[in-house]
């Protein structure tokens, strides 16, 4: 009896967790490269030479080697938040149907969305922990954006859920027909891309390159971090972009090309979008995300 249980558990681990971990590790290795490609695209379009696409690896190594400074006024949340943020991104990377987990049965869409929300929640808490002015402002804005992003992400998930009658991401992917080209698919594709920009703090919602603390959203929350904790936050953010691009490629981009190519294509398009847009007024973000929600609603109806 007990042997059966152990065997069952082992089977689940072998079939589900191990491929998931392996996949997340691969995505983690590639994540800084994707960020580097976005930066290189932007630099080239600005007629600058730009840093090498591998620059983010060097930056991460640099931050990892630096000492981690902590103010005596912070609590355990300040240390735990980057770890949780990274861990949630990593879990999301395990769940997202990509290369190795297509046959896996875990990875419910709702769990996926709220695992990421958990990481964000802890980042917002930590932004207030050090009690600096910029951190609190960044945290408040992050909550404002995420409240608006949430319905859009849920609707995007529901489109596929209603089409394939499942909320398991891998089942959706297995059934996904890339040649299925309809109004609904195009709208969902565009809207989900808008959501990716908002969710990952890219232009036109947030400016990842700015040094102006007063305008920051995500960067504002990370201002107090240094050393290894900062490395974890950055790794987590890079990984999150890859996770979303993978999901985008696997479920929303209606072209029949390899997934890896779709991810790289997505990175280049993010770079281009960041060049042709400037940051919108903070209170216009709701209009932007409302547009995404409406597109998704129409996509559901048109389906």
Partner 1 sequence: MSIMKISPEAMHETAHMFSIDNYHPLTAMFGRDETASGLGYTIYMVFENFEKRDMDIAKAVFDPHGHLEYETLTKLVPAAAWFEREIKDMFGIIPKGHPDPRPLVLHENFPEGFFPLRKVVRKNQQERGKREYKMRTSDGEGLFEVPVGPIHAGIIEPGHFRFSQAGESMLQLDAKLFFTHRGIEKAVEGKTPDEALHIVERICGACSVSNTWSFCQAVEKALDVKVPRRAEIIRTLLSELERIVNHVGDIGNMPAGVGFNPAISLGGRLKEQTMRLCEAVAGNRFLRGVIVPGGVRQDITHELIVEIREVLKKVRFGVADMGIMFKEQDSFQNRVQTTGIVPKEVAVDLAMVGVGARASGFAHDSRKDFDYGMYPELDFEVCTHKSGDVAARLLVRLEELEVSFKLVDQLLKLLENCEDNTLKADLAYNGPRESWGISESPRGSNFHYVALDNEGKIDRLFVRSASYANWPAVPFAVTGNIIPDFPLINKSFELCYACIDR
Reported as half-sphere exposure (CB side, CA atoms, 13 A), residue 284 has a value of 8
Q: Which of 204, 208, 233, 279 is nearest to 89 (CA)?
A: 233
Residue 2, exposed/middle/buried by CB under 10 A (0-12, 13-18, 19+)? exposed
Q: Could you tell me the smallest distance in angstroms from the CB atom of residue 37 to partner 1? A: 16
Rounded to whole angstroms, the Cα distance separating 226 from 231 reads 8
Nearer residue to partner 1 within complex by CB, 98 or 204: 204
Cα four-point dihedral sign 213, 216, 217, 219: negative
Counting contacts by CB under 8 A, is residue 4 touching partner 1? no
Mask of contacts with partner 1, 17-56, x by CB under 8 A? Answer: -------------------------x--xxxx--------
Q: What is the secondary structure of 246-285 as a DSSP string?
A: HHIIIII----S-HHHHHHHHHHHHHHHHHH--PPPGGGH
Q: Could you tell me the smallest distance in angstroms from the CB atom of residue 135 to partner 1? A: 11
Nearer residue to partner 1 within complex by CB, 48 or 165: 48
**CB pairs under 8 A, 24+ apart, for 108-113?**
108/167, 108/168, 108/169, 109/157, 109/160, 109/161, 109/167, 109/168, 109/169, 109/172, 110/157, 110/167, 112/157, 112/169, 113/150, 113/153, 113/154, 113/157
Quick one: which of 215, 226, 227, 291 contacts partner 1 (CB under 8 A)? 215
Counting contacts by CB under 8 A, is residue 279 touching partner 1? yes
Counting contacts by CB under 8 A, is residue 15 touching partner 1? no
Mask of contacts with partner 1, 97-136, x by CB under 8 A? Answer: ------------------------------------xx--
Number of residues engaging partner 1 in binding (CB under 8 A): 29
Rounded to whole angstroms, the Cα distance separating 130 from 126 reads 7
Q: Could you tell me the smallest distance in angstroms from the CB atom of residue 198 to partner 1? A: 15
Counting contacts by CB under 8 A, is residue 170 touching partner 1? no
Q: Could you tell me the smallest distance in angstroms from the CB atom of residue 285 to partner 1? A: 11
Mask of contacts with partner 1, 195-214, x by CB under 8 A? Answer: --------xx--x-xxxxxx
Q: Could you tell me the smallest distance in angstroms from the CB atom of residue 279 to partner 1? A: 4
Q: Which residues bind partner 1 (CB under 8 A)?
A: 42, 45-48, 133-134, 137, 203-204, 207, 209-215, 274-284
């Amino acid at each position: 009896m007990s042997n059966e249980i152990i065997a069952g558990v082992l089977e689940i681990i072998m079939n589900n967790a191990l491929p998931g971990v392996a996949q997340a590790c691969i995505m983690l290795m590639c994540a800084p490269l994707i960020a580097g490609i976005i930066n290189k695209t932007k630099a080239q379009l600005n007629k600058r030479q730009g840093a090498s696409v591998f620059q983010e690896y060097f930056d991460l190594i640099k931050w990892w080697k630096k000492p981690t400074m902590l103010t005596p006024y912070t609590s355990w949340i300040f240390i735990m938040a980057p770890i949780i943020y990274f861990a949630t991104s990593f879990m999301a990377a395990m769940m997202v149907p990509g290369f190795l987990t297509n046959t896996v049965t875990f990875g419910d869409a709702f769990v996926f969305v709220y695992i990421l929300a958990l990481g964000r929640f802890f980042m917002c808490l930590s932004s207030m922990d050090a009690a600096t002015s910029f951190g609190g402002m960044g945290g408040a804005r992050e909550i404002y954006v995420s409240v608006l992003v949430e319905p859009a992400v849920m609707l995007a998930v529901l489109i596929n859920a209603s089409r394939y009658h499942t909320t398991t991401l891998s089942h959706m992917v297995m059934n996904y027909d890339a040649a299925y080209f309809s109004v609904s698919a195009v709208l969902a594709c565009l809207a989900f891309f808008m959501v990716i920009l908002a969710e990952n703090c890219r232009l036109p919602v947030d400016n990842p390159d700015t040094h102006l603390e007063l305008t920051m959203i995500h960067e504002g929350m990370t201002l107090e971090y240094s050393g290894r904790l900062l490395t974890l936050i950055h790794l987590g953010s890079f990984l999150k972009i890859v996770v979303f691009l993978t999901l985008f490629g696997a479920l929303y981009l209606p072209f029949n090309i390899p997934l890896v190519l779709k991810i790289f294509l997505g990175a280049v398009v993010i770079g281009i979008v960041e060049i042709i847009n400037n940051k919108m007024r903070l209170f216009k973000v709701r209009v932007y995300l409302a547009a995404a929600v409406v597109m998704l609603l129409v996509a559901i109806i048109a389906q």
